[in-house]
Structure 1
């Protein structure tokens, strides 16, 4: 009985989905993304920004983000691809808290789908350091966080 409990505890949310095949997921630094925004790039036209957080969605979200929790994302990727393709959005930018787990996985899954489709007109990018890096970047970043709560980012 104890072994069954231990085995069940080790199952991760993404274990039921295929492993990412793409080895080189492209990264976008917070500074480069901020420059892109200030140069006039707009969400839904020049990029789709996806916040992958589910229950750790505290402290705000980067302006223009669409919340698609990573835990339910994989089956939705073909539909998301169809929408992005039809809207001619050239970049999908993924982030979570730190973009070390969910962000990389989502960007990789989407890149796998792009590869499968032979689509080289859409880029799948992970936002380096995720929302935590964005929130800790200073006032020019935090003013672009909807529902920004500094207490969530600057804990003493």
Structure 2
């Protein structure tokens, strides 16, 4: 397992998350995408901001730099999903930070489970990049 990345400048004014959510493999996420309903049974949260050239089909984009200030609202919204999977480019910095913040603020006894996509978008692209149903290219 790779060590977490150092705290970036944008995150220095925010607390470090206390939680360390579990990792989900690209294959496990693929199974969710092919057997469950996105936006009902789970949600994939892409926390990249400017380094997006493609997205996992059905993912939503909530940039890490704005995540913590919006945390009360995002906890209310994301906490309603049974499964929330975070990712960034490699899932070593932004995704673990945002996933930890969400997990920290979920009420006790919640049924929402928070995960980090192992290897991030890089691993997803390597595994499923040729599958047009699993990846959406950014047209801008």
| TM range, smaller chain | 0.7 to 0.9
Distance 2:117 2:98 in 1: 11
Distance 1:91 1:133 in 2: 20
Count of paired positions: 133
4+ residue runs of structure 1 moved beyond 2 angstroms? 138-143
Structure-to-structure mapping, 1:16-31, within 5 angstroms: 16-22=13-19, 24-31=20-27
The structure whose residues are more often helix, as a share, is: 1
Shift of 1:107: 0.8
Query: Given the alignment, which residue of 83, 91, 94 partners 2:86?
Result: 94
Query: Given the alignment, which residue of 37, 42, 47 partners 1:42?
Result: 37
Distance 1:33 1:123 in 2: 13
- Matched-pair contact (CA < 8 Å) for 1:49–1:93: yes
1:112 matched to which residue of 2? Answer: 104
Distance 1:132 1:89 in 2: 25
Structure-to-structure mapping, 1:7-156, within 5 angstroms: 12-22=9-19, 24-39=20-35, 41-58=36-53, 60-85=54-79, 88-114=80-106, 117-138=107-128, 141=131, 143-147=133-137
TM-score after normalising by structure 1: 0.77
Aligned Cα RMSD in Å? Answer: 2.0
- Matched-pair contact (CA < 8 Å) for 1:27–1:128: yes
Radius of gyration: which is bigger? 1
Shift of 1:143: 3.5
Check 1:135–1:142 CA distance in 2 against 1; reply closer, same or farther (3 A cut). Answer: farther
TM-score after normalising by structure 2: 0.85
Residues 81-134 of structure 1: CA deviation (Å, up to 9, x unaligned): 21234xx410111000000111111111111111xx214311111011111100
- Matched-pair contact (CA < 8 Å) for 2:88–2:120: yes
Check 1:99–1:11 CA distance in 2 against 1; reply closer, same or farther (3 A cut). Answer: closer
Distance 1:143 1:33 in 2: 13
